[in-house]
Amino acid sequence: MNALTQNQAYLAMYSFLAAHYLRSKADDIGALLGSMSMLQDGRPADPAVEEDWHAAIHAALSGAVNTRLGLTK
């Protein structure tokens, strides 16, 4: 598998979430997709999404993402 650019990774995440939304019709996923949708200038509709995306990239690159299922009280 080839490495993805940040933009390609964003598109992959968007595609993954869009497919999930089509199956589930979950309102929260639909709202997230609306926030993530790109405007004419190439930036997400919600500016906070761009900041969150950069933080997520940093977390992934630094190994700070925990994907283990855990239940908390």
- Apex CA 35: angle with CA 18 and CA 29, to 5°? 40
pTM assigned to the model? 0.84
What is the average per-residue pLDDT within 32-50? 96
In this prediction, residue 73 has a pLDDT band, given cuts at 50, 70 and 90, of: low
- Apex CA 25: angle with CA 24 and CA 30, to 5°? 120
> For residue 52, what is the enclosing H or E element?
helix 47-62
What is the average per-residue pLDDT within 52-72? 90
Question: Is a pLDDT exceeding 80 seen at residue 53?
Answer: yes
Give the three-state DSSP class for 1.
coil
Asked whether 29 and 21 are in contact (CB, 8 A), the reply is yes
Kindly report the length of the chain: 73
Tens-place pLDDT, residues 17-39: 999 999 999 999 999 999 999 99
